[in-house]
Amino acid sequence: MFEADADTQRMIDWAAAAGLPPLDSLPPEAARAQSAAGTAKTALELAPVAKVDNLDIEGPGDSLAVRIYHPKDAPEGPLPIILYYHGGGFVIGSIDTHDSIPRVLANHSSAIVVSVDYRLAPEHRYPAAVDDAEAAVLWAHEHGAAMGGDPTRLAVAGDSAGGNLAAVAALRVRDSVGSALVAQALLYPVTDHATLDRHASRQDHAETFPIRKPLMAWFHNHYFGHDEPMDEPDASPLHHPDLSGAAPAYVMTAGLDPLMDEGKAYADALQAAGVDVEYSCWETTIHGFLQMGQVIPAAEDALIEAAVFMKRRFAG
């Protein structure tokens, strides 16, 4: 097993000293507020971009809020478009809590990033978030030119639960969008809601901050409405029967993360299906470290790595 680096250990110690109640002991609204307050103290400072627009687009359930980031120092357009889905176990998180991440991705990929405020559970259970994720890709493909984007060069990206949504959306749009989706960046994604015992990291890091086993179960129950395993491909892309033809993928994991093994397993499964894959494990840090850049500076380096992957794919 890997050991925490000094920055990561400082983050773990800081969280322990805060003495806050576990998120899984709170109702969703209170958990959202507590998580957002913590993120405000640890996330990267907001990098300047050329322009930020807030927009409501048509969604499967109702209007769907998106935040659009235009990169600074970008070449002449039209620019590629990244659909970004925030993390938070499908229950917490928002385009506000994850405001720092799309800015780094936009500036270092020279792409427009559309951050999607998909519906959260338990108010909107599975598959509402999946439907929103797919709808956002289809919207960008149809309307991307109106914001200075190039609808023939799309990517999906997301962290944690958002990585799950990005992976599933990439599979759902293979026929409708086809070769226009040129990349997917999955940042410590959850890929398996079914066969949890097969992944040693789920056991090895069952008590590792920030997503201990009780919190993982809390997320699962709120998202699906029950505690039973879910092997449907839209819930667990690792169980998809056919991954061929998926967009080239960058898959990032963290070495001290319960999700490490299933992230690696998904990268391997994509590669076995003939998909081009770049795998990167940040061995000495934890799940969620991209939201801890003020304490764990590696967060920015990792985001830049993902952005550079997508930039290469946009260039063909």
Q: CATH number of the domain that 204 lies in?
A: 3.40.50.1820
User: Is 38 within a domain?
Assistant: no
Structural domain boundaries, residue 190? 6-15+47-314
Question: In the annotation, is 199 catalytic?
Answer: no
What is the mean predicted confidence (pLDDT) over 25-30?
Answer: 98
User: Is 34 within a domain?
Assistant: no
Angle between helices 100-109 and 298-314 (to 10 degrees): 40
User: Is 310 within a domain?
Assistant: yes
How confident is the model at residue 197, as a pLDDT? 84
- Mean pLDDT (the chain) is 97
User: Is 21 within a domain?
Assistant: no
What is the mean predicted confidence (pLDDT) over 266-281?
Answer: 98
Question: In the annotation, is 280 catalytic?
Answer: no
Catalytic site residue from 117, 192, 257, 261 = 257
Please state the φ and ψ torsions of residue 41, each to the nearest 5 degrees: -90, -15
User: Is 41 within a domain?
Assistant: no
Query: Total structural domains in the chain?
Result: 1
The pLDDT-based confidence of 62 (bands split at 50, 70, 90) is confident
Out of 70-79, 84-93, 118-127, 210-219, which region has the weakest mean confidence (pLDDT)? 70-79
How confident is the model at residue 210, as a pLDDT? 98
% of the chain exceeding 90 in pLDDT? 97
Tens digit of pLDDT for each residue in 169-183? 999 999 999 999 999
Tens digit of pLDDT for each residue in 107-133? 999 999 999 999 999 999 999 999 999
pLDDT of 266 strictly over 80: yes
Is 28 in contact with 222 (CB distance < 8 Å)? yes
Tens digit of pLDDT for each residue in 193-244? 999 889 999 999 999 999 999 999 999 999 999 999 999 999 999 999 999 9
User: Is 27 within a domain?
Assistant: no
Joined together, the tokens standing for residue 227 give 């505690």
Task: Report the alpha-carbon angle 133-136-142, nearest 5.
Answer: 150
User: Is 25 within a domain?
Assistant: no
Beta strand 63-70 with 51-58 is: antiparallel
Cα separation values, 91 from 24, 86, 122, 145, 244, Å: 11, 11, 7, 32, 30
What pTM does this model have? Answer: 0.98
Catalytic site residue from 160, 199, 205, 239 = 160
Residue 268 burial (CB count, 10 A): 14
User: Is 42 within a domain?
Assistant: no
% of the chain exceeding 70 in pLDDT? 100
Question: In the annotation, is 63 catalytic?
Answer: no
